[in-house]
Amino acid sequence: MYRSFYHYLMTLRAPHSNPQADFADHAFYDASFPKQAQDYQTLSQYLEFVDYLPNMDIFDEVFTMYEENNR
C-alpha cells in the first residue's frame, strides 16, 4: 500500500530552510491539506488556491520525488 503524499511530504520537514522543507512546514500547519490524497490532480488543484507555494514547480519536483519513492 502506498503512503499518502502528505506522509511523504512530512519526511522533508527540516530545521534548515529550503523550498521543499518550507512547503512541508506550510502543509503541516494547513488543517485543510488533503492528507490522504495520492494523485497529482487532486493535490495540484488544491495547491493552486493556497498562498504558501511561490510557484508550482516546487510541488512538481516533490511529487516526482514522491512517485519515485513509492515504486
Residue 10, domain CATH? 1.10.150.260
Least confident of 28-32, 43-47, 50-54: 50-54
Q: What number is the average pLDDT over the span 33-58?
A: 95
Which domain covers residue 15, as residue numbers? 5-69
Q: What is the spatial distance between Cα 33 and Cα 27, in angstroms, rounded to a whole number?
A: 6
Q: What number is the average pLDDT over the span 41-54?
A: 94
Distance of CA 49 to the CA centre of its chain: 14
Q: How many domains does the chain have?
A: 1
Q: Calculate what percentage of the chain has a pLDDT beyond 70.
A: 99
**Could you tell me the pLDDT band of residue 1, with boundaries at 50, 70 and 90?**
low
Q: What is the pTM of this model?
A: 0.90
CB burial of 25-38 (b: ≥16 within 10 Å; e: otherwise) equals bebeeeeebbeeeb
